Structure 1
Amino acid sequence: MFTHIKAAIIDLDGTMLDTAPDFLVAINRMRAEFSLAPLALETIKHFVGKGSENLIHRVLAVDYAEPQVAQHFDAAIDSYQRHYLSINGDYSTLYPDVIQGLQALRAKGLRLACVTNKPIAFTTPLLQKKGLSNYFDVVYGGDSLVRKKPDPLPLLQVCTDFDLPPAQVIAIGDSSNDAIAARAAGCPVLSVPYGYNHGEAIQNIDSDGIVETLLEAARLISLN
């Protein structure tokens, strides 16, 4: 059991939503504009998690050397963002027991924050579209603050917002980004095994445990 927990910080992509199919559509529509061949879903899953800039850089690097990546980057990210906004949430699905897990966390009296590296312009409408918005008191995207995960700043900002010490704020995510940020912030952290994690094994993450679902995470958390 995790005791004396008063709040939870939950990641979005790979933790609450399987958004890889959205990335697949937007990225391959962008690549078509550059006359590049489409990428496979599994390839794209390995690129997700460190923000849009890193994502597009890696997508371009499949075909281009570094000078060409830099040359095409601005046009590519503009194209990607345009396509992503047009389909945001259309192909993504909730992972099992996400709603039940959020309900259980709220029923225990925990305050909830969503902290993701997805740009806030994508994050807010996606949460609304999938019926998740009302569960969260605070939402930060990857461009909401001056630094994103794995930097601890977004998690520390949530602790400040909630007026809680990091030891009472648990982080839940699917990748090393979440665990590294939580460790640096002083927050306990749980990992889910079904997300992306840059193609690396979840067992290699330095977290306080692996939980199959958000509902299982809620069952492990105690206020006292």
Structure 2
Amino acid sequence: MRVDGILFDKDGTLFDFGSSWNVWAGRMIGELAKGDIKVLQAVAQELEFDLERQEFLPTSFVIAGTNLEVAQAIARAIPGTDVAELEDLLMRSAAQAPLMPVVPLGPFLDDLANRGLRLGVMTNDTEFSAQAHLKSAGVAEKFDFIAGFDSGYGAKPDPDPLLAFSTAMDVPPARVAMVGDSTHDLIAGRAAGMQTVAVLTGVAREEELAPFADVVLPDIGHLEVWLQA
């Protein structure tokens, strides 16, 4: 088999990004605006969120950004906003977001674990939200490692959080596959010396991801064939 460990991104990889986060973001932006159309437009502009289509633009930093970066951007659109309070609000709200798994995650992860693979999640979301989302999906216990940007290892595209997984699992980086839907994921994987797998269940297109990936797959459900190739 190609690898001994797989490190997944969360949003756009385990969970379909558009189906999961566009609806939540549209509602959250509306709540923050409190009926003020100028504030609504300002927040949407900062986050690169298309109000008419109710979806993030492909260029939006939010797709691979941290909770703190999102809070700071919103604060720029709403002067006087306390960034720390907003970050906490976003974390708790996001933890309740109804996410849409790309594939039935339980059987999928069981199959990988039964092959002897060590499994982890590294997201630029908070660890609190990551734990909440994975527990809600009934799969938190299937991972050997779960980390967010605030877990003490850093955030992607820095390779350190990926190397933390490698160290914790005692698996050489070259025997780990980093699976993600953004260039942040793949750049971090390359910098860590890992194999990189891009999936198209986020916002980024194949032509954007391909230069940084060893393989581009439609979704994580196609991993099995690649692992055995």
**TM-score of the superposition, structure 2-length normalised?**
0.80
- The aligned amino acid for 1:105 is L
- The aligned amino acid for 2:25 is F
Residue 105 of structure 1 aligns to a residue whose secondary structure is helix
Q: How far off its partner does 1:220 sit?
A: 1.4
Distance 1:76 1:33 in 2: 21
Q: How far off its partner does 1:127 sit?
A: 1.0
Distance 2:68 2:83 in 1: 10
The reply to whether residue 220 of structure 1 matches residue 226 of structure 2 is yes
In structure 2, relative to structure 1, the CA distance for the partners of 1:161 and 1:123 (3 Å cut) is: same
Corresponding position of 2:199: 192
Aligned ranges for residues 61-140 of structure 1 at < 5 Å?
Answer: 64=77, 71-72=79-80, 75-76=82-83, 78-79=85-86, 81-82=88-89, 84-86=91-93, 88-140=95-147
Distance 2:25 2:176 in 1: 30
Distance 2:143 2:172 in 1: 19
Corresponding position of 1:203: 207
Distance 1:84 1:30 in 2: 14
Larger displacement relative to structure 2 (45-54 or 10-19): 45-54
Distance 1:158 1:96 in 2: 23
Corresponding position of 1:42: 55
Residue 17 of structure 1 aligns to a residue whose secondary structure is coil
Contact 2:120–2:146 at 8 Å: present in 1 too?
yes
**TM-score of the superposition, structure 1-length normalised?**
0.81
Q: How far off its partner does 1:137 sit?
A: 0.6
Residue 122 of structure 1 aligns to a residue whose secondary structure is helix
Distance 2:148 2:89 in 1: 18
Q: How far off its partner does 1:51 sit?
A: 0.5
Distance 1:113 1:82 in 2: 26
Greater relative contact order: 1 or 2 (C-alpha under 8 angstroms, separation 6 or more)? 1
Q: Give RMSD over aligned pairs.
A: 2.6
Distance 1:162 1:154 in 2: 13
Instruction: List alignment gaps of at least 5 residues for structure 1.
Output: none
